Amino acid sequence: MSQIFEYLIAAALVLGGIFGLVGSFGLVKLNDPMSRLHAPTKATTLGVGGVLIASMIHAIASEGHLSWHELLITLFLFLTAPITANFIAKAHIHRHETPQSLPPAGEDGLWATHDVPASPEAAPTAPLARD
């Protein structure tokens, strides 16, 4: 494998590693749950992306053909990252936000997570203890 390819692969891996680290550091440093959600959903995209680019360059340089798996992984990542973030955000709204603590939802009245039909059997919803 030529020297240039090795440098390119190394650079992509280091870049990916840095972004992965920044994403994880954001989890520790940011101070409220919703802000913490930002670091892993975004900084990690380029973190994983760097590793995938390195893998593609490696396939071209050492095996001489283009590998398509990396594109698929990127696609699946782009599909799943927003859904995961949305689930975590909804769980947060459900447990720690009230309709008063969020901005008003215009003529719709409530945000979907708070729009729960009242059922007579359900126990009165006491706010869950913060863990």
Partner 1 sequence: MRMFARIFPHPLLTGLLTLVWLLLVNRYSINSLLFGLLLGTVIPFITRPYWPDRPALRNPLKILAYLLIVIWDIVVANFTVARIVLFKSNASRHPAWITIPLELRKPEAITVLAGTITLTPGTVSADLSAEGHYLLVHCLDAPDPDAVRDEIKTRYERRLMEIFE
Q: Is 54 in the site for partner 1 (CB under 8 A)?
A: no
Taking the C-alpha atoms of residue 80 and residue 44, their distance in angstroms, rounded to an integer, is 13
Taking the C-alpha atoms of residue 65 and residue 110, their distance in angstroms, rounded to an integer, is 53
Tokens of 110: 């409530």
Q: Is 45 in the site for partner 1 (CB under 8 A)?
A: yes
- Which residue of 1, 4, 10, 110 would you call a contact of partner 1, by CB under 8 A? 110
How many residues form the binding site for partner 1 (CB under 8 A)? 48
Q: Is 52 in the site for partner 1 (CB under 8 A)?
A: no
- Which residue of 7, 14, 17, 78 would you call a contact of partner 1, by CB under 8 A? 78
Q: Is 117 in the site for partner 1 (CB under 8 A)?
A: no
Q: Is 71 in the site for partner 1 (CB under 8 A)?
A: yes
Q: Is 48 in the site for partner 1 (CB under 8 A)?
A: no
Radius of gyration, CA atoms only, the chain: 21
Number of other CB atoms surrounding residue 14 within 10 Å:
12
Which has the closest alpha carbon to 47: 73, 27, 18, 75?
18
Q: How far is the CB of 60 from partner 1 (least distance, A)?
A: 13
